[in-house]
Amino acid sequence: MQKEYALFNLKEAKSAIEDLISEMEEDPEYDIGNYLVDIQHVYWHINSAWNGREYDMTSQELTNGMYEAFIQFPEDLAL
């Protein structure tokens, strides 16, 4: 496991969740459109933390194909 990429994405997910909560609490006009965008952002980072757990960001360039694969909902987790 390559911790750096996982940690980066988990920290980004944490920040995105905190921002989402603040916006929902403070913005009376917050609606399903905002929620859709915000929750996708959270999932992209959580999915990337899992799917990219073997990605070595210090020695590999993140390609568009890798990014697209990383943000997909994991198929190897029994949820």
- pLDDT by residue for the chain (79 residues), tens digit each? 999 999 999 999 999 999 999 999 999 999 999 999 999 999 999 999 999 999 999 999 999 999 999 999 999 998 8
Domain enclosing residue 60, as ranges: 3-70
Query: Is 31 inside a domain boundary?
Result: yes
Q: Are 40 and 17 in contact (CB under 8 A)?
A: no
60: left (phi over 0), alpha (psi -120 to 50) or beta: beta
Number of domains the chain contains: 1
Cβ burial, residue 45 (10 Å; 0-12/13-18/19+): buried
Beta-sheet strands, E only, within the chain:
none
Query: Is 75 inside a domain boundary?
Result: no
Provide the residue type at 75 as one letter.
E
Query: Is 76 inside a domain boundary?
Result: no
Query: Is 77 inside a domain boundary?
Result: no
Query: Is 32 inside a domain boundary?
Result: yes
